């Protein structure tokens, strides 16, 4: 079953369920929990105000597929991290930057079989980013300089993958052991760490993008996104590069270069990271042992899986599983 709502009706549902509930330590750190309307799902959105920015943690699952008809405009200065679940075109394991004036018109989708875990860092104003790196503007890429210096510009968006270093910071936020002012300082430091990691990731891509690349038409971009969807859906047994190129109607040269240009990694680098993110999520769910997870993501050899997991996340899958069980 699928539900289609206008943005106004969707927002009204949140108001009707009286979602604002302060945390127990609200007097020290005014964190707000908004419960997901029971008509559409279960879970919450936690809003944490910090100096110069807001941190949002979204953790929920819908009862039915939800399609929201968007007709809105506004401004955002956001760094986002889609830890799990596919929401609004953002997929599991993707990080993104959304910056500037936007106009949304279309369908914003979230699916019932996806457990959403997402983290957003919204700056109060673009000037805050200038405060963070303004003195180093000459050393950063033209695109980052543009983000920092232009307060009112057409919307800019960049999508990439969550790196192991980002994953570590995200896990530390989710498992923050502190309360009160110590918690606020800790969360601020981790948000700044994530912003730094995301800017460095963007800078590295920008260096690559300065090299001669193939010219991509809008139809080419659509085909490359289709290629991403195909390999994501078949990550345990992905097609060869030639097979994938034929399926999406591109030659293998344009597919390779175009994929790197859009996603900042190779086709099979993307497959590998997706498999590792899937494995991490399966271990977090604690419904499978390491051998079963290895098989689920396409590894017949458990030792090779363990080596790949350790390289991606800095610990063995067994240690990760035991750590999750102790939480």
**pLDDT class of 156 with cuts at 50, 70, 90:** confident
Q: Tokens representing 246?
A: 């034929």
Name all domains of the chain by residue range, CATH numbers in brackets: 2-209 (no CATH), 218-326 (1.10.10.60)
What does the pLDDT average to over 4-22? 78
pLDDT for position 109: 83
52 or 286, greater pLDDT: 52
pLDDT for position 58: 94
CA atoms of 35 and 44, how far apart (whole Å): 4
pLDDT for position 215: 63
Check pLDDT > 50 for residue 289.
Answer: yes
* Of 175-184, 210-219, 253-262, highest mean pLDDT: 175-184
- Segment 201-236, tens digit of pLDDT: 877 765 544 444 456 777 888 888 899 889 888 887
| Tokens 């042992």 found at | 289
Q: Give the dihedral sign, CA 249/252/253/259.
A: positive
230's enclosing H/E stretch is helix 218-233
Q: By three-state DSSP, how is residue 161 classified?
A: strand
159's enclosing H/E stretch is strand 156-161
Q: Are 264 and 257 in contact (CB under 8 A)?
A: no
**pLDDT class of 83 with cuts at 50, 70, 90:** confident
pLDDT for position 147: 60
**CB contact set of 70 (below 8 Å; sequence gap of 6+):** 7, 104, 105, 106, 107, 108
CA atoms of 46 and 23, how far apart (whole Å): 9
Check pLDDT > 90 for residue 249.
Answer: yes
**% of the chain with per-residue pLDDT over 90:** 22
Q: Which residues pair with 58 in a beta bridge?
A: 45, 118
């Amino acid at each position: 079953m699928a539900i289609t709502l206008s943005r106004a009706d969707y927002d009204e549902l949140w108001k009707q369920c009286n979602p604002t509930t302060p945390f127990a330590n609200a007097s020290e750190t005014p964190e707000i929990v908004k419960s997901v309307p029971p008509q559409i799902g279960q879970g919450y959105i936690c809003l944490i105000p910090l100096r110069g920015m807001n941190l949002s943690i979204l953790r929920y699952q819908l009862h039915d597929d939800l399609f929201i008809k968007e007709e809105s405009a506004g401004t955002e200065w956001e760094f986002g991290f889609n830890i799990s679940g596919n929401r609004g075109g953002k997929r599991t394991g993707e990080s993104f930057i959304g910056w500037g004036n936007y106009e949304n018109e279309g369908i914003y989708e979230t699916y019932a079989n996806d457990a959403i875990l997402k983290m957003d860092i919204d700056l109060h104003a673009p000037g805050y980013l200038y405060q963070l790196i303004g003195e180093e503007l000459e050393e950063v890429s033209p695109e980052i300089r543009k983000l920092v210096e232009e307060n009112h510009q057409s919307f800019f968006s960049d999508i990439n993958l969550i790196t192991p270093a980002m994953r570590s910071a995200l896990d530390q936020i989710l498992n923050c052991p502190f309360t009160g002012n110590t918690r606020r300082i800790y969360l601020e430091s981790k948000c700044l760490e994530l912003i730094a990691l995301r800017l460095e990731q963007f800078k590295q891509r920008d260096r690559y993008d300065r090299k001669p690349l193939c010219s991509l038409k809008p139809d080419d971009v659509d085909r490359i996104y289709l290629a991403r969807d195909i390999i994501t859906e078949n990550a345990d047994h992905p097609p060869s590069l030639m097979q994938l190129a034929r399926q999406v109607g591109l030659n293998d040269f344009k597919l390779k270069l175009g994929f790197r240009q859009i996603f900042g990694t190779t086709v099979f680098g993307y497959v590998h990271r997706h498999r590792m993110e899937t494995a991490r999520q399966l271990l977090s769910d604690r419904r499978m042992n390491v051998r079963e997870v290895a098989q689920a993501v396409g590894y017949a050899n458990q030792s090779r899986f363990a080596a790949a997991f350790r390289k991606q996340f800095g610990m063995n899958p067994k240690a990760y599983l035991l750590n999750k069980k102790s939480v």
